[in-house]
Amino acid sequence: MTRLDALRQAAKILGVVFAPLIVVTIGIRLIHGYESAAWAYGTLALSTGAGLLCLWSLPISKRSRIWLSIVYVPVAAALLVYYSLIFACAVFGDCL
């Protein structure tokens, strides 16, 4: 494995964590005035999908990808909901 391959793999691993955070942050900023559950669920699905794209691009076996995806989706969705509540409270003052 060359140094460039190692950097690409590290970027994909970081993408699994940070791509959903970036997507949900942008989504919350864009939908702040709409107050629609459909937009919020769409943002959550899109951000979880961004993390899955990074996960599926990792050089691991297909079986591992499937099992990691089964675990990743509910854990990422729960953490993103928690993050979005904290973000909305901190940025917009819309605290629960």
What is the number of alpha carbons within 13 Å of residue 59 lying toward its C-beta?
8
Q: Report how far residue 85's alpha carbon sits from residue 81's, in angstroms, rounded to the nearest whole number.
A: 6
Residue whose entry in the numeric block shows the structure tokens 């459909």: 38
Asked whether 16 and 55 are in contact (CB, 8 A), the reply is yes
Q: What pLDDT, on the 0 to 100 scale, is given for residue 36?
A: 79
Share above pLDDT 70 across residues of the chain, in percent, rounded to a whole number: 100
pLDDT tens readout for residues 79-94: 999 999 999 899 888 7
Q: What pLDDT, on the 0 to 100 scale, is given for residue 46?
A: 96
Q: What pLDDT, on the 0 to 100 scale, is given for residue 90?
A: 92
Q: What mean pLDDT do residues 55-73 have? A: 95
The CA–CA distances, whole Å, from 87 to 9, 43, 64, 66 equal: 29, 14, 32, 30
Neighbours of 19 (CB within 10 A): 20
Question: Residue 66: pLDDT above 90?
Answer: yes
